[in-house]
């Protein structure tokens, strides 16, 4: 009986503790404390971008040690893993956006933010040229920002490989506006297909949703689209039920090359069951406003051409280097052999520069361009900058102690100062021993529709790895993403969206 009473009290206490924790975080997120102002004696650290790499750095950086300036055309952090869910309204777009202002207002020393694009990094003059390309412009919309240290985290742009018509006619899936555009266009295609007297052939074209690229972006989007159709569209617009079609086009012999063979097969089988047509060994060569022209490699190696009509075309064929990064690479002879982005050393310093670091998708390392890599690099750079600041502080102290020792009057005072110098010297060499960046791969996860996900997971730092697919993996996928969404506010918003979708279905109105 005593044990039961103890357990009962423990339950109550932990519930109360949970509520107190929640209340504290809600209060703290709404009431940021006073901040220190800029300090002219500190170095200026300029961070470009507000994505996975830059925001992970910003979150862990002790801003007391630097005057930090953030430059990005996007004044929010975007949780990209849930972006495909926004294309169909499973999740509302604002739920995966975290305002940058919230993040920087919680730092110890005020962080300056400029909503602008870096258009040129002048490595020699140590300045970044910035432009405000937003709709509202003041009398000044172009200027320069000087830096002592610079971190380049501008990500990558969509690869089109120069294929004609892609930029003009396809939708991409990288930014929040892309997801909104896709959501609008899906509904537009459906409403246009049901227009009075529409021909059968035109209906078929309009209801053909084509996804190019069998990487995780294309796969997750196709899965989300399938769910939207099966769970909502089929019910609310029954006239399209037998015509709505999703096709995934991939140039290689299989989809999801980064996953194990078993999971590739599982994904392809699931897509077959979901009536998503997967066309591998099919390379898109040209895009017009209504068709894609593809080259198909047959089993015997022969190639044939085909024209596929589409209503919606989503282009997800990976990353290309941004102009500002390409320009910096062209300034530096050390970058001449780099193709995929800025070549960096083990400490993420851009080859051929001093005081310029790069992280995430704009850097070229041996790792895949993923959020996992970018965020671990951001955390690494935060540790590096924090320890650089501590090193400088201790070196200044050591210098002062040494001066005091030289001027000491008696031996006892000298001995005491020597002991102090030794202790500080030891802690200095410890701080200086920061090991190079090493990526720890936690595994890959992708949603494939119909409440199923695939996961190649490394447990306990890679000691055990497992490859699973199915409904349980899907629950794991959900809980993993909810725990990863950065802020408590966003976590609650995402959970509410999921519940709302389960209870009422997705909204089929066109904005
Ligand atoms: P980004 O996060 O792209 O951030 C770049 C930042 O730079 C942005 O704020 C941008 O506005 C800013 N910027 C751009 N140009 C300039 C400029 N000229 N000057 C200043 N700032 C600029 N990875 C995973 O590991 N797991 C997943 O589940 C996953 N899902 C994904 C789903 C989708 C739909 C997509 C598109 C990607 C997904 N990724 C995932 C990949 C992941 O999002 C990227 O690898 C990650 O965002 C890279 O981080 P980053 O900081 O380098 O760049
Ligand atoms: P990707 O580079 O992984 O895949 C693009 C695919 O498009 C390739 O398989 C390529 O063969 C194909 N392709 C290229 N040109 C083509 C053409 N003309 N015709 C037909 N197919 C063509 O790109 P993706 O999916 O955008 O991913 C980018 C990065 O983001 C990757 O590193 C990926 O791992 C990461 N990511 C991870 C996710 C996850 O872990 N769940 C989700 C989304 C992205």
- DSSP conformation class of 441: -
- The predicted pLDDT at position 26 comes to 82
**Structure tokens belonging to residue 58:** 């910003």
Q: 448: Cβ below 6 Å to ligand 1? A: no
Ligand 2 pocket mutation pick from 79, 175, 215, 222 by most atoms within 8 angstroms of CB: 215
Rounded to the nearest whole angstrom, what is the distance from the C-alpha of residue 470 to the centroid of ligand 2?
Answer: 22
Q: Which fold has domain 166-319+440-504?
A: FAD/NAD(P)-binding domain (3.50.50)
* pLDDT surpassing 70 at residue 460: no
pLDDT > 70? residue 443: yes
Q: What is the value of ipTM here, to two decimals?
A: 0.98
Summarize the confidence of residues 182-205 as an average pLDDT: 97
Helical (H) or strand (E) element with 326:
helix 323-331
| Residues in Cβ contact with 507 at an 8 Å cutoff, skipping those fewer than 6 apart | 89
Domain ranges of the chain: 1-31, 40-156+321-388, 166-319+440-504, 390-432
Mean residue pLDDT across the chain: 94
Residue nearest atom 41 of ligand 2, based on CA coordinates = 446
pLDDT band at 463 (very low <50, low <70, confident <90, very high): low
- How far does the centroid of ligand 1 lie from the alpha carbon of residue 370, in Å? 8
The tokens describing 274, both together, are 């979901």
C-alpha angle with apex 331: 326 to 332, nearest 5 degrees? 100
- Condensed to tens digits (0 to 9), the pLDDT of residues 55-91 reads 999 999 999 999 999 999 999 999 999 999 999 999 9
Same fold, 40-156+321-388 and 166-319+440-504: yes
- Strand-pairing partners, residue 145, are 128
Question: Is any ligand 1 atom within 6 A of the Cβ of residue 215?
Answer: no
Mean pLDDT confidence for 13-34: 87
Which atom of ligand 2 is found nearest the CA of 258? 34
Q: Which of 237-241, 258-262, 288-292 has the lowest mean pLDDT?
A: 258-262
**223: Cβ below 6 Å to ligand 2?**
no
How much distance in Å is there from the Cα of 416 to the middle of ligand 2? 62
Domain 40-156+321-388 has CATH 3.40.50.720: no
Q: How far apart are the first and last CA of the chain?
A: 60
Looking at residue 468, its pLDDT comes to 74
The mean per-residue pLDDT over the stretch 3-14 comes to 90
Distance between Cα 394 and ligand 2 center (Å): 47
Residue 196: CB atoms within 10 A of its CB come to 4
**311 CB less than 6 Å from ligand 2?**
no
Task: Take atom 34 of ligand 2 and give the residue whose Cα is closest.
Answer: 370
Mean pLDDT for 464-479 is: 75
Rounded to 5°, the CA angle 238-243-244 comes to: 85
Query: Between 488-504 and 471-484, two packed helices, what is the crossing angle to 10 degrees?
Result: 140
State the distance from the centre of ligand 1 to the C-alpha of 127, rounded, in angstroms. 24
Residue 459 has pLDDT above 70, yes or no: no
In this prediction, residue 394 carries a pLDDT of 92
Using DSSP bridges, classify how beta strands 303-309 and 291-297 pair: parallel, antiparallel or unpaired: antiparallel
**How much is the pLDDT for 464?**
55
């Amino acid at each position: 009986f005593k044990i039961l009473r103890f357990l009962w009290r423990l339950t109550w206490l932990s519930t109360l503790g949970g509520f107190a924790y929640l209340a504290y975080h809600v209060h703290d997120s709404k009431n940021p404390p006073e901040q220190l102002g800029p300090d002219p004696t500190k170095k200026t650290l300029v961070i470009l971008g507000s994505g996975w790499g830059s925001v992970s750095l910003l979150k862990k950086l002790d801003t007391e040690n630097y005057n930090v300036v953030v430059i990005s055309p996007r004044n929010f952090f975007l949780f990209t893993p849930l972006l495909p869910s926004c294309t169909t309204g499973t999740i509302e777009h604002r739920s995966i956006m975290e305002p940058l202002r919230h993040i920087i207002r919680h730092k110890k020393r005020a962080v300056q933010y400029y909503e602008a694009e870096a258009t040129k990094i002048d490595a020699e003059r140590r300045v970044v040229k910035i432009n405000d390309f937003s709709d509202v412009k003041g009398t000044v919309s172009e200027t320069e920002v000087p830096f002592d240290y610079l971190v380049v985290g501008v990500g990558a742009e969509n690869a089109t490989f120069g294929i004609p018509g892609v930029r003009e006619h396809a939708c991409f899936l990288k930014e929040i506006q892309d997801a909104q555009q896709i959501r609008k266009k899906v509904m537009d295609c459906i409403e246009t297909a049901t227009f009075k007297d529409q021909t059968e052939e035109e209906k078929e074209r309009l209801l053909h949703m084509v996804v190019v690229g069998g990487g995780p972006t294309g796969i997750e989007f196709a899965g989300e689209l399938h769910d939207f159709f099966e769970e909502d569209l089929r019910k609310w617009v029954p006239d399209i039920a037998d015509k709505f079609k999703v096709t995934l086009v991939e140039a290689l012999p299989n989809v999801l090359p980064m996953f194990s063979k078993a999971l590739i097969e599982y994904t392809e089988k699931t897509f077959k069951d979901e009536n998503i047509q997967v066309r591998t060994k099919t390379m898109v060569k040209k895009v017009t406003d209504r068709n894609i022209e593809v080259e198909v490699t047959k089993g015997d190696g022969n190639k044939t051409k085909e024209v596929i009509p589409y209503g919606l075309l989503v282009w997800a064929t990976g990353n290309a280097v941004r102009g500002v990064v390409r320009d910096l690479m062209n300034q530096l002879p050390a970058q001449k052999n780099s193709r995929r982005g800025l070549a960096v050393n083990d400490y993420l310093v851009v080859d051929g520069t001093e005081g310029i670091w790069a992280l995430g998708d704009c850097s070229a390392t041996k790792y895949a361009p993923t959020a996992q890599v970018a965020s671990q690099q951001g955390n690494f750079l935060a540790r590096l900058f924090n320890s650089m600041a501590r090193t400088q502080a201790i070196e200044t102290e050591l210098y002062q102690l040494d001066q005091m020792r030289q001027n000491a009057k008696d031996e006892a005072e000298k001995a005491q100062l020597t002991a102090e110098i030794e202790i500080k010297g030891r802690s200095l060499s410890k701080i200086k021993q920061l090991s190079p960046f090493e990526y720890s791969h936690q595994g890959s996860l992708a949603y494939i529709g119909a409440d199923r996900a695939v996961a190649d997971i490394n447990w306990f730092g890679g000691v055990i790895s497992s490859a699973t697919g199915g409904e349980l993996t899907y629950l794991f996928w959900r809980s993993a993403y909810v725990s990863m969404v950065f802020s408590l506010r966003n976590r609650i918003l995402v959970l509410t969206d999921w519940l709302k979708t389960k209870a009422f279905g997705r909204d089929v109105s066109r904005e």
